[in-house]
Copies of this chain bind each other. A is one copy, B any other.
Amino acid sequence: MPDPVISAQNLDLTFQTNDGPVHALKGVSLDIEKGDFVSFIGPSGCGKTTFLRVMADLEQPTGGTITVNGVSPEEARMARAYGYVFQAAGLYPWRTIGKNVSLPLEIMGYSKAEQSERVARVLDLVELAGFEKKFPWQLSGGMQQRASIARALAFDADILLMDEPFGALDEIVRDHLNEQLLHLWARTEKTIAFVTHSIPEAVYLSTKIVVMSPRPGRITDVIDSPLPKERPLDIRESPEFLEVAHRVREGLRAGHADG
């Protein structure tokens, strides 16, 4: 078996605040293999975002070790290994969709020609071809979110970190984007770490579901999904699906009860 893409050993992270220390992560160990789609689920404030931020070198753990592609998160960041998608689309209102997607490319010094080539390709991938010249506020919330995913895909990051990317969208749009995300993942073979609050979403998308408990944030359960790679939306009404969902819910409820 190849080395894991992300390997966390016994991670600790304590924030120093005015009200005293906050233990956001405690003894977190997890391996993510290449091509995995890992969902993180857990009650609010349990440290999901923090864990993702540690992976992306946006936060320094206060204990334990973590490697990404075999090197430190900082080196991985310098090597531009990450595409990070935040909860809100976070597009720049003063840039067109095309310009928004090419922003990381500009920063990374791609040539003009390559920029436009890549922008066209990823906008196509998220079905936004033809919207290059629009401004973000001229698009619906779902389209904005797809643009922000396109932005994270524009450069060749191996690892896609997604922090509740669909949290603000309505159920129908969300279903649709979930389907598309799965297709995309299948096509690009990226490794994805995905934070969500929704049990069906986690179960529908993932190859591996990580259930976390509230402060201090700990991993209470890691569930490998028995679902096939090919997942029509109806799969959510299948007994396998409901069983996994049930297990996730139980894990969550147990966490809530302790907290």
Contact = CB atoms under 8 A, between A and B. Distances in A.
Interface of A: 43-44, 140-141, 170-173, 197-199, 237, 242, 246, 252-253, 256
Contacts of A256: 172
Nearest to A140: B44
A172 B246 contact: no
The 6 lowest CB-CB distance pairs between A and B, nearest first, are A170-B197, A44-B170, A171-B197, A172-B252, A172-B256, A43-B172
Contacts of A199: 171
A246 B197 CA distance: 22
Copies in the complex: 2
Nearest to A196: B171
Given A170-B197, A171-B199, 6 more contacts: A43-B172, A43-B173, A44-B173, A171-B252, A172-B256, A237-B242
17 contacts: A43-B170, A43-B172, A43-B173, A44-B140, A44-B141, A44-B170, A44-B173, A170-B197, A171-B197, A171-B198, A171-B199, A171-B252, A172-B252, A172-B253, A172-B256, A237-B242, A237-B246
Interface SS, A side: helix
Contacts of A253: 172
A170 B252 CA distance: 11
A197 B252 CA distance: 23
A199 B171 CA distance: 8
Nearest to A253: B172
A125 to B, nearest CB: 21
A41 to B, nearest CB: 9
Contacts of A252: 171-172
A238 B91 CA distance: 42
A242 B44 CA distance: 27
A85 to B, nearest CB: 19
